[in-house]
Chain A
Amino acid sequence: MAAEAVIDSLSPREVGDTLPPARRAITRQAIDAYRAASGDNNPLHYDDEFAAATQFGDVIAHGMLTLALVTEMMTRAYGSDWLSSGNLRVRFRAPAYPGDLLEAAGRLAKREFTDNGLIVTCNVEVRNAHNGSRIITGSASVTLSPPTQGVAAE
């Protein structure tokens, strides 16, 4: 679909609407690639010996790597509106390990009309698909442009 396509038919706009989910397997390669891209060189993310001595017992993924699943989900749902006005507030609740399969999910929880437009707020989370544990919980809000002005994510 062209990037200029309208988003009004794709974007969740009503309370209770669910967001298109995003899913990703966590691997050592993904963690290493994220370390190179972000410059976050905490040994907790690559040093087996160091990580084994911590409360986590093993190397874990960067929190911001797991959070990227939420922003991918929001970008897919709200396109350019998310890229220009997205607002994210999350808590990292549990670590993600290599081998874990993560799923981001969300549901529209609140609509608010303001002078700047319609602001929608979604409850979002990232879960470990293997055991159901919550990796991230929080909220994400975005100011929606009029239906024919947005740019679709795909």
Chain B
Amino acid sequence: MDCSVPHTKISLGAWEITVDAVEQYLAAVGDKLPIYLASGAAPPLMLAARVVGRLLERLALPDGAVHNLQDVATLNAPRIGAPVSAEAQLEPARERGGMRFLTVNFTVTEDEGGLILIQGRTTILLPTDLRPADLLPTDTGPTDD
């Protein structure tokens, strides 16, 4: 799969929203609100964080890539215990002011029933010497865990 082609869909794998993962995320960000575990809903940003981490892996983004813009829209509350999967789609890279921007649209879906949980848009600032063709995935298949 060649991710240098705009609009190419990229699988970001599948995983389960476990209680352990939610607790690990909440501890990492210092969020002590009890609502998540009490209501059974994971923080939507936790899913977006996972997507951004996987984008870095899958797109072989250069080490100097910098997160510039982030949109996250929650369509349905992510349910703790749900199996989910994520897919991303690249927009054509663009240059402005001597900088190169890469924008990726993504969706995280609950596997049972296909309910869309979140949709997002991540824009990353890249070193200017990087060509779009350099943005190749590090492997060709989804990374389930």
Interface residues of A (CB under 8 A from B): 3, 24, 30, 33-34, 36-44, 50, 54, 62-65, 67-69, 71-72, 75-76, 79-80, 82-92, 151-154
Q: Which residues of A contact B25 (CB under 8 A)?
A: 37-38
- Complex Cα spacing A3 to B35, Å: 6
Question: A121 to chain B: closest CB distance in Å?
Answer: 13
Q: Are A33 and B28 in contact (CB under 8 A)?
A: yes
Most chain A beta-carbon neighbours within 10 Å: one of B21, B71, B74, B78: B74
Give the total of B residues in contact with A, Cβ under 8 Å: 43
Interface of A is mostly: helix
Q: Are A63 and B39 in contact (CB under 8 A)?
A: no
- Complex Cα spacing A83 to B37, Å: 12
21 contacts between A and B (CB under 8 A): A3-B38, A24-B29, A30-B28, A37-B28, A38-B28, A39-B53, A39-B54, A41-B53, A64-B48, A67-B70, A68-B45, A71-B43, A82-B74, A83-B35, A83-B39, A83-B44, A83-B78, A85-B74, A88-B70, A153-B35, A154-B35
**One of B2-10, B60-68, B102-110 contacting the partner:** B60-68
Q: Are A39 and B72 in contact (CB under 8 A)?
A: no
A interface footprint on B71-87 (CB within 8 Å = 1, 0 otherwise): 11111111000000000
Q: Which residues of B contact A83 (CB under 8 A)?
A: 35-36, 39, 41, 43-44, 74, 77-78
Q: Which residues of A contact B34 (CB under 8 A)?
A: 3, 153-154
B50 at the interface (CB under 8 A from A): yes
Q: Which residues of B contact A90 (CB under 8 A)?
A: 69-71
